């Protein structure tokens, strides 16, 4: 099924209210499917080790998408799908995807559970508020980390010339162009001019303005779009999608299943997550990003999110060729030990469950430039070290890491961290001695816990 | 004694309707309460208010999830509509903690955060008017005026749209209505610093915090 057909169904499908779609089509069906396929969480498991449940979760997710469809939020119509259409989309989903240019071109690929191949690493500012003053430097500092395969979401220019940006304004368009220009400049300065930049300029439709083969984001750069929880798509995403598909960009499609929301608990939300993986592929997603969100904790390293991500990723890894990646959103902030312990726990879970990795970032950044390229290096190292590890081994380490931060998951209690300009020497773009020492200490600690760094 | 037993049986049936998320049963048991001639204000408290509060607490402990909270809220609305009509007809008035208009700001289609806030506030005794999503500044104010609200609660889920929370407060000031309403802001990118910067009266990180904040700052918004 092509974009034209999806767009048409978004205009002609059954008309309904969002609340009816979510309650009657999603929630009601999830409750039935949880029972039918015996998907459950025992209240303590952090990484799923049950292959049969992963396979049942895949079946349940497919049945959910078939019975719910995808809701077009603006037209209020349901894009309904039949089984054959879902199968066809899954059959033709790319198992490998090229991105970037020249000697900096790289390939992301579908991974298996406990796959020995290293995961693809998407990392960068991850849409943190970035100041105009430091935008290029902080992106250059990420791009100079060689383990990062694609520079991810080069920061949100919230203010320009001291002015806050309104999303549909002319200023937003100007900000999007500068975003493209400065991101390209950053990867050039780092000596990786063709490095793929995964773009998501957050500026509604104006973000398209950052596209330019010479100075901005190119057709070889992945462009990100986000589905709305649960199984919903809006006009802005559809419009971006129409443009980027025609322009030839790799499509990076994200979704954030919400534990405690319309899918219920971790088990039910895992079913929603699997359905969302498929929905993303049907819509044209080529790399599919799961961000296992939580209604109470608002981050992704809590026990519910760890379990959900592991179960949904294993379902996808074992039953499809989807290139999956998992986002890592923490309570602790860059510059703190907790930040690294949290992203390491989720990375060990995600990588052994067959996912690639995206992140890390704090769930609630404090102020501008709350990022650390050095911590991105550690994130990539842990993710690479997890390749080939057995889930059981990873689970034992994750349990120890989880104990260190479980009482500080509340965003108010979590360490505040520091800004990029406090963690780095802005002249040399090297970490300060103190930040380097934190990295060394954490690496030693993780090695001691059994992560083969 | 028989009347007392009858009253307790009605309260139990009302409670059961909320706990089983059954709107039809809630309306039916409310009608039973009206027909029986019992004290309807007591029926509100013992039949509906208690169990809906407990539902809110169970949601906070993650023993139940959003669908159950919303169905419980719907059941409450259905039952309260019956009781309110009878109480008003008898010249009485249901005590509400306060009147809230809540919505997601202009340009923002995210619904869940605001919906949870609305459901939990209602579960905790507030009268809530949920305006929906993509609500322009002027509509927040029109709704607050027409509903005689005490509180304007604004959700923004995007870094780009939180700007419109500022606009609501600025427009209130320009219309000389700023002191009339307690303004509450929340949403993923929103922080206390942002609330301070735009002059919001309150910031809540989550839905339960919103209830706690309003309960704790009653002197700031109650007449």
Distance, in Å, from the CA atom of A40 to the CA atom of A123, rounded to the nearest integer, reads 32
**Residue B1 pLDDT > 60, yes or no?**
no
Give the pairing of strands A287-290 and A323-330.
Answer: parallel
Q: Mark residue A394 as left, alpha or beta (left: phi above 0; alpha: psi -120 to 50; beta: remaining).
A: alpha
- Lowest-pLDDT range, A165-179, A227-241, A313-327, B136-150? A165-179
Summarised one tens digit per residue, pLDDT across range A69-100 is 999 999 999 999 999 999 999 999 999 999 99
Q: How far is CA A7 from the centre of its chain?
A: 25
**The pLDDT value given to residue B5:** 67
Distance from CA of A129 to the nearest CA of B (A): 8
Q: Indicate the pLDDT class of residue B142, thresholds 50, 70 and 90.
A: very high
Distance, in Å, from the CA atom of B174 to the CA atom of B130, rounded to the nearest integer, reads 24
Decide if A260 and B66 are in contact by the 8 Å CB cutoff: yes
Least Cα distance to A121 among A319, A336, A351, A401 occurs for A351
Backbone angles phi and psi of B203, in degrees to 5? -130, 135
Per CATH, domain B99-221 is 3.30.365.10: no
**Residue A405 pLDDT > 70, yes or no?**
yes
CA distance between the termini of chain B: 41
Residue A165 at interface with chain B, using a CB cutoff of 8 Å: yes
Answer whether A42's CB lies under 8 Å from A61's CB: no
DSSP A250: P
**Residue A274 pLDDT > 70, yes or no?**
yes
Backbone angles phi and psi of B158, in degrees to 5? -125, 145
Which residues in chain A have Cβ-Cβ distances shorter than 8 Å to B160? 165-167, 172, 202-204
Distance, in Å, from the CA atom of A301 to the CA atom of B152, rounded to the nearest integer, reads 33
Provide the CATH topology of domain A96-120+222-424: TIM Barrel (3.20.20)
* Tokens 């009858």, residue located: B6
**Residue B4 pLDDT > 70, yes or no?**
no
Q: Mean pLDDT, to the nearest integer, of A155-161? A: 91
Interface of A with B in 127-146 (CB under 8 A): 127, 129
Q: Mean pLDDT, to the nearest integer, of A135-147? A: 98
Which residues in chain B have Cβ-Cβ distances shorter than 8 Å to A367? 193
Decide if B193 and A172 are in contact by the 8 Å CB cutoff: no
Distance from CA of B66 to the nearest CA of A (A): 5
HEC assignment per residue over chain B? CHHHHHHHHHHHHHHHHHHCCCHHHHHHHHHHHHHHCCCHHHHHHHHHHHHHHHHHHHHHCCCCCHHHHHHHHHHHHHHHHHHHHHHHHCCCCCCCCCEEEEEEECCCCCCHHHHHHHHHHHHCCCEEEEEEEEECHHHHHHHHHHCCCCEEEEECCCCCCCHHHHHHHHHHHHCCCHHHCEEEEECCCCCHHHHHHHCCCEECCCHHHHHHHHHHCHHHHCC
The residue among B140 and B159 whose pLDDT is bigger is B140
Q: How far is CA A20 from the centre of its chain?
A: 28
3-state secondary structure of A175: helix
Distance, in Å, from the CA atom of A41 to the CA atom of A352, rounded to the nearest integer, reads 19
Using CB atoms, pick whichever of A158, A202, A261 lies closest to residue B65: A261
Least Cα distance to A338 among A306, A362, A357, A310 occurs for A362
Where are the domain boundaries for CATH 3.40.50.280 in chain B?
99-221
Decide if B205 and A129 are in contact by the 8 Å CB cutoff: no
Interface of B with A in 109-148 (CB under 8 A): 109-112, 116
- Would you state the CATH architecture of domain B2-89? Orthogonal Bundle (1.10)
What is the ipTM for the molecules in this complex?
Answer: 0.86
Q: Could you tell me the strand order of the sheet in which A197-198 lies?
A: A197-198, A150-152, A121-123, A356-362, A323-330, A287-290, A251-255, A223-226
Mean pLDDT of chain A: 96
Instruction: Specify which of B85-99, B104-118, B176-190 reaches the highest per-range mean pLDDT.
Output: B176-190
Decide if A228 and B110 are in contact by the 8 Å CB cutoff: yes
Distance from CA of B116 to the nearest CA of A (A): 9
CA dihedral A165, A168, A171, A177 (to 10 degrees): 110
Q: Which two tokens stand for residue A149?
A: 């395969």
Where are the domain boundaries for CATH 1.10.1240.10 in chain B?
2-89
Using CB atoms, pick whichever of B163, B188, B191 lies closest to residue A164: B163
Summarised one tens digit per residue, pLDDT across range A29-61 is 999 999 999 999 999 999 999 999 999 999 999
Distance from CA of A31 to the nearest CA of B (A): 10
Predicted TM-score (pTM) of the model is 0.94
Q: Mean pLDDT, to the nearest integer, of B146-169? A: 94
Instruction: Specify which of A160-169, B120-129, B171-180 reaches the highest per-range mean pLDDT.
Output: B171-180
Q: How far is CA B54 from the centre of its chain?
A: 15
Distance from CA of B83 to the nearest CA of A (A): 25
Which residues in chain A have Cβ-Cβ distances shorter than 8 Å to B60? 296
**The pLDDT value given to residue B208:** 86
Residue B65 at interface with chain A, using a CB cutoff of 8 Å: yes
Summarised one tens digit per residue, pLDDT across range A365-404 is 888 999 999 999 999 999 999 999 999 999 999 999 999 9
Backbone angles phi and psi of A278, in degrees to 5? -70, -40
Decide if B159 and A164 are in contact by the 8 Å CB cutoff: no
**Residue A14 pLDDT > 60, yes or no?**
yes
Mean pLDDT of chain B: 92
**The pLDDT value given to residue B123:** 85
Q: Indicate the pLDDT class of residue A166, thresholds 50, 70 and 90.
A: confident
Decide if B112 and A203 are in contact by the 8 Å CB cutoff: no
Residue A262 at interface with chain B, using a CB cutoff of 8 Å: yes
**Residue B54 pLDDT > 80, yes or no?**
yes
């Amino acid at each position: 099924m092509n974009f034209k057909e999806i767009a048409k169904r978004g205009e002609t499908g059954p008309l309904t209210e969002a609340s009816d779609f979510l309650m009657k089509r999603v929630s009601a069906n999830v409750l039935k499917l949880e029972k039918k396929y015996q998907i459950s969480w025992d209240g303590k498991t952090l990484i799923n080790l049950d292959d049969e449940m992963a396979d049942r979760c895949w079946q349940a997710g497919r049945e959910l998408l078939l019975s719910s469809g995808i809701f077009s939020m603006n037209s209020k119509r349901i894009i309904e799908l039949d089984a054959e259409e879902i199968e066809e989309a899954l059959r033709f989903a790319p198992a490998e995807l090229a991105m970037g240019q020249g000697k900096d071109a790289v390939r992301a690929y579908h991974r298996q559970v406990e796959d020995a191949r290293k995961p693809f690493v998407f990392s960068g500012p991850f849409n943190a508020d970035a100041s105009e003053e430091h935008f290029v430097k902080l992106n250059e500092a990420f791009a100079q980390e060689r383990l990062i395969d694609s520079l991810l979401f080069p920061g949100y220019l919230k203010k320009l010339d001291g002015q806050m940006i309104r999303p549909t304004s002319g200023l937003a368009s100007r900000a999007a162009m500068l975003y493209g220009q400065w991101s390209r400049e950053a990867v050039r300065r780092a000596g990786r001019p063709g490095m793929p930049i995964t773009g998501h300029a957050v500026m509604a439709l104006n973000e398209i303005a950052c596209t330019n083969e010479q100075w901005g984001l190119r057709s070889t750069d992945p462009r990100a779009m986000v589905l709305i929880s649960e199984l919903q798509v809006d006009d802005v995403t559809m419009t971006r999608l129409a443009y980027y598909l025609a322009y030839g960009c790799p499509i990076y499609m994200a979704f954030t299943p919400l534990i405690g929301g319309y899918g219920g608990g971790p088990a039910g939300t895992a079913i929603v997550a699997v359905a969302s993986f498929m929905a993303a592929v049907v819509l044209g997603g080529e790399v599919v990003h799961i961000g296992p969100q939580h209604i109470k904790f608002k981050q992704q390293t809590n026990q519910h999110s760890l379990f959900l991500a592991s179960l949904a990723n294993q379902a996808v890894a074992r039953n499809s060729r989807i290139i999956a990646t998992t986002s890592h959103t923490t309570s602790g902030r860059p510059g703190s030990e907790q930040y690294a312990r949290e992203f390491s726990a989720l990375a060990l879970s995600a990588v052994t469950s067959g996912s690639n990795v995206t992140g890390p970032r704090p769930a609630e950044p404090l102020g501008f430039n709350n990022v650390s390229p050095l911590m991105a290096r550690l994130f990539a190292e842990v993710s690479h070290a997890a390749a080939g590890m057995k889930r059981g081994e990873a689970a034992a380490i994750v349990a120890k890491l989880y104990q260190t931060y479980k009482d500080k998951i509340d965003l108010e209690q979590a360490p505040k961290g520091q800004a990029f300009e406090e963690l780095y020497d802005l002249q040399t773009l090297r970490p300060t001695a103190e930040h380097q020492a934190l990295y060394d200490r954490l690496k030693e600690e993780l090695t001691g816990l059994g992560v083969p760094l | 004694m028989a009347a007392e037993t009858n009253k307790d049986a009605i309260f139990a049936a009302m409670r059961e309707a909320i706990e089983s998320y059954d709107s039809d049963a809630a309306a039916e048991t409310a009608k039973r309460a009206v027909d029986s001639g019992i004290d309807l204000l007591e029926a509100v408290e013992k039949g509906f208010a208690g169990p809906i509060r407990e539902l809110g607490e169970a949601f906070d402990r993650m023993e139940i999830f959003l669908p159950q909270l919303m169905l419980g809220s719907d059941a409450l609305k259905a039952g309260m509509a019956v009781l309110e009509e009878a109480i008003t007809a008898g010249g009485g008035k249901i005590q509400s903690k306060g009147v809230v208009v809540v919505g997601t700001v202009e340009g923002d289609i995210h619904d869940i955060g605001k919906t949870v806030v609305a459901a939990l506030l209602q579960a905790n005794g507030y009268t809530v008017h949920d305006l929906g999503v993509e609500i322009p500044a002027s509509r927040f104010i029109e709704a607050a005026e027409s509903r005689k609200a005490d509180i304007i609660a604004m959700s923004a889920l995007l870094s780009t749209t939180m700007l419109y929370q500022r606009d609501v407060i600025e427009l209130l000031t320009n219309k000389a209505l700023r002191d009339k309403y307690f303004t509450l802001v929340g949403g993923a990118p929103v922080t206390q610093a942002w609330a301070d910067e735009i002059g919001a009266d309150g910031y809540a990180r989550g839905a339960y915090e919103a209830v706690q904040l309003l309960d704790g700052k009653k002197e700031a918004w109650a007449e």
